[in-house]
């Protein structure tokens, strides 16, 4: 039964994600994120340099190594390589919240991403992305995206503009190679900074 509910949730998320701004319009007041206050351990050593994300376009994606959508890592890496020198950051946030599909530890996840998909974009250490235990970044995302935009599965994507506001969200059904995501990134990169 839970598999059917998860699939139904993905379908509904995909339909809603195809309607730009629906979830953002329902989220109430928009509050920009202050990247200087976001603390995320790197999957490597130390903290990620999130203060450096201020004024950049950031695509935040909750990831998992054993998911049916794990192949999206390849498309995410392609986006990162295409736009990283233009003020874009792709931030992967491994999570075990959906189906136990990220059971490994930091070293195992890092090794899998690097050896299987040649990942070079920043990866955080594994985090909760839903519920009371969600990382503060994902709590901010939930308030900005509203209930329809909260992560429903692995590889949910959130685009944050240069001004720190959430621009749009995409369910796992919208792959990183989609025209919608590519167009949104290019438009956000062309927008003035904070």
- Pairing status of strand 157-160 against strand 88-94: unpaired
Q: Contact at 8 Å (CB) between 68 and 172?
A: no
Q: How does DSSP assign 68-136, residue by residue?
A: TTTTHHHHHHHHHHHHGGGTEEEEEEE--TTTT---S-HHHHHHHHHHHH---S-BBPP---SSTT--H
Which residue out of 40, 60, 67, 148 is catalytically annotated? 67
Calpha distance 157→166 (Å, rounded): 11
In terms of C-beta distances under 8 Å and separation of at least 24 residues, what long-range contacts does 110-113 make, across chains too? 110/43, 110/44, 112/65, 113/43, 113/65, 113/73
| 67 assigned to active site | yes
Active site residues: 67
């Amino acid at each position: 039964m839970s598999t059917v509910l998860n699939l139904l949730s993905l379908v509904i998320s995909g339909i809603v994600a195809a309607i730009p701004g629906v979830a953002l319009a329902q989220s109430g007041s928009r509050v920009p994120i202050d990247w200087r206050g976001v603390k995320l351990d790197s999957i490597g050593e130390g903290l990620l340099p999130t203060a450096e994300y201020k004024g950049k376009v950031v695509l935040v994606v909750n990831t998992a190594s054993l998911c049916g959508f794990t192949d999206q890592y390849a498309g995410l890496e392609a986006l990162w390589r295409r736009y990283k020198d233009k003020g874009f950051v792709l931030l992967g946030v491994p999570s075990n919240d959906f189906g136990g599909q990220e059971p490994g530890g930091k070293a195992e996840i890092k090794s899998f991403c690097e050896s299987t998909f040649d990942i070079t974009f920043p990866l955080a250490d594994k985090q909760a992305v839903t519920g009371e235990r969600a990382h503060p970044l994902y709590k901010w995302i939930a308030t900005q995206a509203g209930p329809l935009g909260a992560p429903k599965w692995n590889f949910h994507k959130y685009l944050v503009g240069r001004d720190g506001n959430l621009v749009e969200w995409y369910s796992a059904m919208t792959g990183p190679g989609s025209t919608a995501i590519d167009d949104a990134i290019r438009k956000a990169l062309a927008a003035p900074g904070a």
